[in-house]
C-alpha cells in the first residue's frame, strides 16, 4: 500500500502545467517517481534520444507532502506513469489567476489510491476553486518502473550558463521546419547557435529547403562560458526550443554541460521555486567535418556499467537497489545508432513556438494578422443565433453565444442556417 | 554575378514579402541598376507585378552581372519573410547573393543590439530558501549593448535571361472607370463577411464553392464603388459614394487631349449618378472573393490604391507606396481577371 498526498498552491499548480507542457513535447507519457524528499516527473522520447526530468522539492514546492510506502523492495520509491494529455486536461493553463477569473483555483490536492481493497489504481486531483466548488478528477495510472538517463558530469568539461530570456529571443529567429541545432564555440569570443536541416534536395526542391539560421553571440553575454574553442555539438532544435521555452517561464539561467559530440549533453535550470529541470540529450558532431576533433580524453563514465533499467510491475523484486537517484546516461553507441530514426521522426512534427497566452501585450504579429486572407475553414467561436426550426424547445428566439453553432459554417453541415457575421472577439462594449 | 545591399526599410520589405506571399509561394525577383521588380505569377488567381525604386527598401546597393547588370532570381517568399521578421529590431541588416556547396542563396546578415532585456531590469531574486538543489538565482544580466549577429540563409534559384524572356506583364485595354479605393481594411472586412455568408451551407445548395463566392465589383465615374454577392438565398451589396476618380494626365494617355476625349472613361462620365442609384454607368467585374481577400493583404503597406475597371474583363489595382522624395514612386500592379457572367 502506498500513501502519496500532496497539495499545491495555485502558483505551483500553474507551474506543474508548464512542466507538463514541456514534458509533453518529449513523450506522450509522463513518468512519476515519488520519494520522501521529492517528486520527479520524467519523459523519455520514443527513440530514447532525449530525456527530460523535473524534480519538485518536497518542502519547497508543496503546501504539504506526505509519502509512505510499505511495499517491500521498493527502496522507498513509488513509480508510475500517465498520459500527459490526460494530466494536461486537469492541470490546465490559467490555474493561477490573481483576479480569480474562470479556471482559477484556490488550492490543488492530489492523492494516490493504491489499496488492495480497491479495484482501480487512481490518481485523484481535487481542484478547490472559488466559492467552494471542488472539481475532482480521477485518472488512471500505470504502475511501471521508470527509466532514467545517466549523465557523467565528471567528463562533461564544457559548460556554459546563460539567461533563458536571451536564448528565448534567439530561438525565435530560427526557421520553422529546421531539425538540427549546432552549438559552436568560436575562437573569436563568439558562440554560434545554428539551426539547419540535413536534408539534401535538388532542382526545384531547393527552394523548399528550410532557412538556415545562425545566431552569433558574444561569449561575454553568457553568465559563464567555458567550452573548448572550435567544438561543434549538434542536438535537435525541437528539444532545444522546448527546453528554452520552459526555462523562460521560470526566468532562470539555463546551464549546459557536455563533453564531446556523440556523448550526452545535459541542460539544467531552475531550483528558484523548488523545481529543477534536467535534460539529457544525445548529440552528434560530424556536421561538415568542421573543427570537431576532440582532445578531451574520453573518460569512461564512472558508472558506465550501471545502465538504468526498466522493469515491469510484475517484477517489483527486481527493482534497483540504488539509494541515490542515478545520474542519467545512455550508452553513446546506442544513441548515435538511433540518430537517423530520430531525425526522421522529428521532421514529421515540427512544433511552432507558442507565444505566451497570458501576455498582456498585443503581439506584434496580431496587428499584421488582420491583413491575412481569411481561412474560411477555421472554426472560431462566433456570435450567432439559432435559426433552426426543428428545435421545439426554443419557443422564443434567443441569442446564443454558442461555440457549437459555428459548425454550420463548415461545408459538410447539412442544416441550412444563416452564419453569424461577427466574431465574439470583435464585439466590444456590449457587456 | 554580385548582389549586395543593406536594407534601409526592414518593415516595408517585411510587409511587402508578406503581402506577396499570400498570393503565391515563389517570387521572380529582378534586380537591376535602377529598380527592383517582384513578380508573382500563380497558376491560378491574381498576378502581381511590383516595381520598386531602389531606395524604397535598400541603400548602398550594388548589382553586377554579365547580362547588363541584371540578376533574375526565384525566391521562396515564406523563407524570405521569416528571415526578415528576425530583423524587426535590428540595428542593421544586409542582404547579399552568395553560394554554399554550389547552391545559390540569399544571405541576410542582421545585427541586433538589444539592450532592452526585461529580465535584467527585474533580476530574479532568490526566494529566500537556499540549498537543496545547488543552482543559484540568475545574476543580473549585463544589459548594456548586447550585440548579436544573426545570419539567415534563404535558398534561391538563379534564372537565366532566356527563362524570364517569355514572361510579360499582362496587356489590357484602356479602363472604363478608374477610382481611388476606400481604406482596404474596410473593403477587406466587408468582402470577408460577404464570403462567410455565402459559404453558409455551401454544400447543400447547388453550384460549386467557387461559384458561390463570386464577388461582383463595380464602379462608376461619379465616385461610387459597389461590392455585391449573390447566391440563391441572398443578395447582398455595399455601396461607397464620394470616392474620387482621378483625372487622367494627357501626357500619360496615348493621343494626348484627343486621346482623353475618346477615352472610355470620358464616355462613362456621361452615365450614372453620384448617389450610386442609377443602373447606368457602372463598369463591372466578377472576381473570386477568396482571391480578393488575398489581394487585400497588400493593405498592410498602407499605399494609395487606384482601381481600374475594364467592364466584364479585368480589374487592375495600382498600389502606390509612399516614398520620401515623391519622384521614383514604387508601384505594385495587381491584375485580377473577371469571370464571365
Q: Does B208 touch chain A (CB under 8 A)?
A: no
| Range B216-235 average pLDDT | 91
More confident residue, B97 or B123: B97
CB atoms A223 and B139 under 8 Å: yes
Is residue A414 scored above 80 in pLDDT?
A: no
pLDDT at residue A115 in the model: 73
pLDDT at residue B81 in the model: 95
Range of the domain at B251: 177-337
Whether residue B2 contacts residue B62, with contact meaning beta carbons closer than 8 Å, is answered with: yes
Please report which confidence band the pLDDT of residue A398 belongs to, taking 50, 70 and 90 as the band edges. Answer: very low
Please report which confidence band the pLDDT of residue A425 belongs to, taking 50, 70 and 90 as the band edges. Answer: low
What is the rounded CA–CA span in Å between residue A208 and residue A205? 5
Whether residue B88 contacts residue A364, with contact meaning beta carbons closer than 8 Å, is answered with: yes
Is residue A95 scored above 90 in pLDDT?
A: no
More confident residue, A37 or A272: A37
CA quadruple A316, A319, A325, A327: dihedral positive or negative?
negative
Is residue A260 scored above 80 in pLDDT?
A: yes
More confident residue, A160 or B211: A160
In a shared domain, residues B241 and B301: yes
Nearest Cβ partner of B157 from A206, A409, A418? A206
Please report which confidence band the pLDDT of residue A322 belongs to, taking 50, 70 and 90 as the band edges. Answer: very low
Q: Is residue B317 part of a domain?
A: yes
| Range B317-323 average pLDDT | 89
pLDDT at residue B198 in the model: 84
CA quadruple A171, A177, A180, A185: dihedral positive or negative?
negative
List the strands of the sheet with A212-218, edge to edge.
A232-236, A180-185, A190-196, A212-218, B146-155, B103-114, B92-100, B2-7, B58-64
Residue whose C-alpha is closest to residue A424's, from A408, A407, A400: A400
Is residue A193 scored above 50 in pLDDT?
A: yes
pLDDT at residue A191 in the model: 92
Residue whose C-alpha is closest to residue A411's, from B232, B198, B200, B193: B200
Query: How many Å lie between the alpha carbon of B305 and the closest alpha carbon of chain A?
Result: 15
Whether residue B204 contacts residue B214, with contact meaning beta carbons closer than 8 Å, is answered with: no
Query: How many Å lie between the alpha carbon of A270 and the closest alpha carbon of chain B?
Result: 7
In a shared domain, residues B198 and B325: yes
pLDDT at residue B188 in the model: 93
Q: Is residue B127 part of a domain?
A: no
Contacts of B74 in chain A (CB under 8 A): 207
What is the rounded CA–CA span in Å between residue A302 and residue B327? 74
| Range A361-384 average pLDDT | 64
Contacts of A60 in chain B (CB under 8 A): 127, 129, 132
Residue whose C-alpha is closest to residue B309's, from B281, B329, B331: B281
For chain A, give the mean pLDDT.
75
Of A198-202, A359-363, B67-71, B301-305, the poorest mean pLDDT is in A359-363
In a shared domain, residues B207 and B321: yes
Strands A382-385 and A275-281 come out as unpaired
Is residue A401 scored above 50 in pLDDT?
A: no
pLDDT digits (tens, 9 = 90+) for B168-197: 999 888 999 999 999 999 999 999 999 888
In a shared domain, residues B228 and B155: no
Whether residue A266 contacts residue A259, with contact meaning beta carbons closer than 8 Å, is answered with: no
CATH class of A158-302+338-348: alpha beta
Task: Match 576532440 to its residue by C-alpha cell.
Answer: A294
Q: In percent, how much of chain A has pLDDT > 70? A: 65
What is the rounded CA–CA span in Å between residue B74 and residue A249? 40
Distances, alpha carbon A187 to alpha carbons A191, A261, A411, B208, in Å? 9, 18, 59, 63
In a shared domain, residues B16 and B92: yes
In a shared domain, residues B16 and B157: yes
pLDDT at residue B314 in the model: 93
Q: Does B271 touch chain A (CB under 8 A)?
A: no
More confident residue, A418 or A268: A268
Is residue B72 scored above 50 in pLDDT?
A: yes
Domain count across chain B: 2
pLDDT at residue A254 in the model: 94
Q: Does A220 touch chain B (CB under 8 A)?
A: yes
Q: Is residue B140 part of a domain?
A: no
pLDDT at residue A270 in the model: 85
Q: Considering only residues 392 to 421 of chain A, which have any Cβ-Cβ distance to chain B shorter than 8 Å?
A: 408-409, 411-419, 421
Query: How many Å lie between the alpha carbon of B172 and the closest alpha carbon of chain A?
Result: 27
| Range A363-376 average pLDDT | 71
What is the rounded CA–CA span in Å between residue A129 and residue A137? 13
For chain B, give the mean pLDDT.
85
pLDDT at residue A408 in the model: 39
Q: Please give the backbone phi and psi of residue A118, each rounded to the nearest 5 degrees, phi first.
A: -105, 145
CA quadruple A165, A170, A172, A178: dihedral positive or negative?
negative
CA quadruple B247, B253, B257, B260: dihedral positive or negative?
negative
Mutate which: B20, B45, B79, vs A, most A CBs within 10 A: B79
In a shared domain, residues B99 and B212: no
Of A196-200, A363-367, B283-287, the poorest mean pLDDT is in A363-367
**What is the maximum alpha-carbon separation in chain B?**
91
In a shared domain, residues B198 and B158: no
Please report which confidence band the pLDDT of residue A159 belongs to, taking 50, 70 and 90 as the band edges. Answer: very high
CATH number at residue B82: 3.70.10.10
More confident residue, B137 or A278: A278
Please report which confidence band the pLDDT of residue A101 belongs to, taking 50, 70 and 90 as the band edges. Answer: confident
Listed in sequence order, the residues at least 6 apart from B131 whose beta carbon sits closer than 8 Å to its beta carbon are: none
Is residue A97 scored above 80 in pLDDT?
A: no
| Range B212-233 average pLDDT | 90
Whether residue A268 contacts residue A279, with contact meaning beta carbons closer than 8 Å, is answered with: yes
Please report which confidence band the pLDDT of residue A366 belongs to, taking 50, 70 and 90 as the band edges. Answer: low
pLDDT digits (tens, 9 = 90+) for A7-19: 999 889 999 999 9
By CB atoms closer than 10 A (0-12, 13-18, 19+), residue A95 is buried
pLDDT at residue A399 in the model: 43
In a shared domain, residues B153 and B192: no
Locate the chain B residue with the closest alpha carbon to A252: B138
What is the rounded CA–CA span in Å between residue A388 and residue A395? 12
Is residue A407 scored above 50 in pLDDT?
A: no
Q: Does B99 touch chain A (CB under 8 A)?
A: no
Paired strand residues for B63: B3
Strands B58-64 and B2-7 come out as antiparallel
pLDDT at residue A227 in the model: 92
What is the rounded CA–CA span in Å between residue B339 and residue B341? 6
| Range A162-179 average pLDDT | 89
CB atoms A165 and B119 under 8 Å: yes
Q: In percent, how much of chain B has pLDDT > 70? A: 85
Q: What is the per-residue DSSP string for A348-359? A: H---PPPP-TT-
Paired strand residues for B155: B105
pLDDT at residue A269 in the model: 93
pLDDT digits (tens, 9 = 90+) for B273-316: 888 888 889 999 999 998 999 999 999 998 899 999 999 999 99
More confident residue, A224 or B200: A224
What is the rounded CA–CA span in Å between residue B244 and residue A5? 74
Is residue A122 scored above 50 in pLDDT?
A: yes
Of A171-180, A345-354, B48-57, B263-272, the poorest mean pLDDT is in A345-354
Please report which confidence band the pLDDT of residue B84 belongs to, taking 50, 70 and 90 as the band edges. Answer: very high
pLDDT at residue B141 in the model: 44
More confident residue, B212 or B26: B26
Whether residue A80 contacts residue A40, with contact meaning beta carbons closer than 8 Å, is answered with: no
Residue whose C-alpha is closest to residue B224's, from B189, B194, B181: B181
Is residue A200 scored above 70 in pLDDT?
A: no
Crossing angle of helices B77-85 and B10-21, rounded to 10°: 150
Nearest Cβ partner of A60 from B15, B129, B153? B129
pLDDT digits (tens, 9 = 90+) for A281-292: 999 876 444 444
- The three cell numbers of residue A79 are 513509480
What is the rounded CA–CA span in Å between residue A171 and residue A238? 10
Please report which confidence band the pLDDT of residue B140 belongs to, taking 50, 70 and 90 as the band edges. Answer: very low
Nearest Cβ partner of B126 from A166, A173, A272? A272
3.70.10.10, 3.30.1490.100, 1.10.10.10, 3.10.290.10: which CATH number matches A2-140?
A: 3.70.10.10
pLDDT digits (tens, 9 = 90+) for A263-282: 899 999 987 888 999 999 99
Locate the chain A residue with the closest alpha carbon to B194: A421
| Range A28-47 average pLDDT | 93
Domain ranges of chain A: 2-140, 158-302+338-348, 373-426
pLDDT at residue A364 in the model: 54
- The three cell numbers of residue A338 are 538511433
Amino acid at each position: 500500500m502506498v500513501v502519496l498526498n500532496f497539495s499545491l498552491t495555485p502558483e505551483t499548480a500553474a507551474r506543474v502545467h508548464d512542466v507538463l507542457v514541456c514534458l509533453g513535447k518529449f513523450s506522450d507519457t509522463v513518468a512519476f517517481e515519488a520519494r520522501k524528499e521529492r517528486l520527479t516527473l520524467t519523459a523519455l522520447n520514443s527513440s530514447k534520444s532525449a530525456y527530460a526530468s523535473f524534480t519538485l522539492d518536497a518542502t519547497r514546492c508543496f503546501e504539504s507532502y506526505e509519502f509512505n510506502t510499505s511495499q517491500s523492495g521498493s527502496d522507498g520509491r513509488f513509480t508510475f506513469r500517465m498520459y500527459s494529455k490526460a494530466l494536461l486536461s486537469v492541470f490546465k493553463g490559467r490555474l493561477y489567476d490573481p483576479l480569480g477569473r474562470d479556471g482559477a483555483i484556490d488550492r490543488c490536492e492530489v492523492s494516490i489510491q493504491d489499496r488492495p481493497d480497491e479495484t482501480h489504481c487512481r490518481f485523484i486531483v481535487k481542484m478547490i476553486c472559488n466559492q467552494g466548488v471542488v472539481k475532482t478528477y480521477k485518472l488512471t495510472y500505470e504502475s511501471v518502473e521508470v527509466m532514467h538517463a545517466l549523465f557523467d558530469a565528471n567528463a562533461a568539461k564544457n559548460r556554459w550558463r546563460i539567461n533563458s530570456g536571451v536564448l528565448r529571443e534567439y530561438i525565435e529567429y530560427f526557421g520553422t521546419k529546421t531539425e538540427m541545432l549546432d552549438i559552436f564555440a568560436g575562437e573569436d569570443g563568439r558562440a554560434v547557435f545554428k539551426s539547419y536541416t540535413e536534408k539534401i534536395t535538388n532542382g526545384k526542391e531547393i527552394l523548399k529547403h528550410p532557412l538556415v539560421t545562425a545566431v552569433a553571440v558574444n561569449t561575454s553575454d553568457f553568465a559563464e562560458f567555458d567550452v573548448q574553442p572550435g567544438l561543434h555539438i549538434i542536438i535537435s532544435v525541437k528539444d532545444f526550443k522546448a527546453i528554452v521555452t520552459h526555462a523562460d517561464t521560470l526566468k532562470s539561467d539555463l546551464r549546459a554541460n557536455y563533453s564531446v559530440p556523440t556523448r550526452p549533453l545535459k541542460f539544467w535550470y531552475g531550483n528558484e521555486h523548488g523545481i529543477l529541470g534536467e535534460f539529457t540529450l544525445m548529440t552528434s558532431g560530424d556536421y561538415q567535418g568542421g573543427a570537431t576533433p576532440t582532445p578531451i580524453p574520453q573518460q569512461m563514465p564512472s558508472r558506465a556499467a550501471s545502465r538504468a533499467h526498466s522493469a515491469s510491475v510484475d517484477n517489483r523484486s527486481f527493482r534497483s537497489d540504488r539509494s541515490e537517484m542515478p545520474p542519467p546516461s545512455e550508452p553513446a553507441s546506442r544513441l548515435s545508432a538511433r540518430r537517423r530514426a530520430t531525425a526522421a521522426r522529428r521532421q514529421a512534427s515540427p512544433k511552432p513556438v507558442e507565444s505566451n497566452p497570458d501576455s498582456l501585450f498585443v503581439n506584434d504579429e496580431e496587428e499584421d494578422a488582420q491583413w491575412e486572407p481569411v481561412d474560411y475553414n477555421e472554426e472560431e467561436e462566433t456570435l450567432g443565433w439559432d435559426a433552426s426550426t426543428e428545435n421545439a424547445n426554443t419557443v422564443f428566439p434567443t441569442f446564443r453565444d454558442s461555440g457549437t453553432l459555428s459548425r454550420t459554417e463548415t461545408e459538410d453541415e447539412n442544416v441550412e442556417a444563416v452564419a453569424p457575421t461577427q466574431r465574439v472577439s470583435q464585439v466590444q462594449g456590449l457587456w | 554575378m554580385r548582389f549586395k545591399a543593406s536594407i534601409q526599410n526592414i518593415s516595408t520589405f517585411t510587409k511587402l514579402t508578406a503581402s506577396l506571399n499570400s498570393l503565391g509561394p515563389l517570387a521572380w525577383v529582378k534586380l537591376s541598376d535602377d529598380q527592383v521588380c517582384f513578380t508573382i505569377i500563380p497558376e491560378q488567381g491574381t498576378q502581381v507585378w511590383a516595381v520598386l525604386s531602389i531606395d524604397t527598401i535598400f541603400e548602398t546597393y550594388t548589382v553586377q552581372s554579365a547580362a547588363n547588370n541584371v540578376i533574375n532570381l526565384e525566391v521562396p517568399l515564406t523563407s524570405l519573410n521569416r528571415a526578415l521578421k528576425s530583423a524587426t529590431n535590428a540595428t542593421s541588416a544586409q542582404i547579399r547573393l552568395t553560394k554554399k556547396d554550389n547552391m545559390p542563396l540569399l544571405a541576410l546578415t542582421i545585427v541586433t543590439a538589444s539592450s532592452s532585456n526585461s529580465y535584467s531590469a527585474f533580476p530574479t531574486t532568490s526566494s529566500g530558501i537556499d540549498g537543496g538543489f545547488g543552482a543559484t538565482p540568475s545574476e543580473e544580466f549585463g544589459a548594456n549593448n548586447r550585440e548579436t549577429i544573426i545570419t539567415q540563409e534563404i535558398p534561391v534559384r538563379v534564372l537565366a535571361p532566356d527563362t524570364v524572356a517569355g514572361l510579360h506583364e499582362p496587356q489590357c485595354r484602356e479602363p472604363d472607370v478608374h477610382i481611388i479605393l476606400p481604406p482596404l481594411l474596410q473593403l477587406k472586412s466587408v468582402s470577408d463577411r460577404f464570403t462567410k455568408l455565402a459559404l453558409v451551407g455551401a454544400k447543400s445548395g447547388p453550384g460549386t464553392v467557387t461559384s458561390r463566392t463570386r464577388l461582383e465589383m463595380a464602379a462608376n465615374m461619379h465616385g461610387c464603388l459597389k461590392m455585391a454577392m449573390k447566391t440563391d438565398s441572398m443578395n447582398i451589396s455595399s455601396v461607397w459614394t464620394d470616392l474620387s476618380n482621378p483625372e487622367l494626365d494627357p501626357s500619360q494617355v496615348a493621343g494626348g487631349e484627343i486621346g482623353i476625349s475618346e477615352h472610355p472613361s470620358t464616355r462613362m462620365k456621361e452615365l450614372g449618378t453620384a448617389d450610386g442609384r442609377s443602373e447606368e454607368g457602372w463598369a463591372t467585374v466578377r472576381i473570386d472573393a477568396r482571391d480578393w481577400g488575398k489581394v487585400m493583404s497588400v493593405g498592410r503597406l498602407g499605399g494609395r490604391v487606384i482601381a481600374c475597371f475594364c467592364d466584364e474583363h479585368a480589374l487592375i489595382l495600382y498600389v502606390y507606396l509612399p516614398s520620401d522624395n515623391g519622384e521614383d514612386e514604387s508601384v505594385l500592379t495587381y491584375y485580377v481577371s473577371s469571370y464571365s457572367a
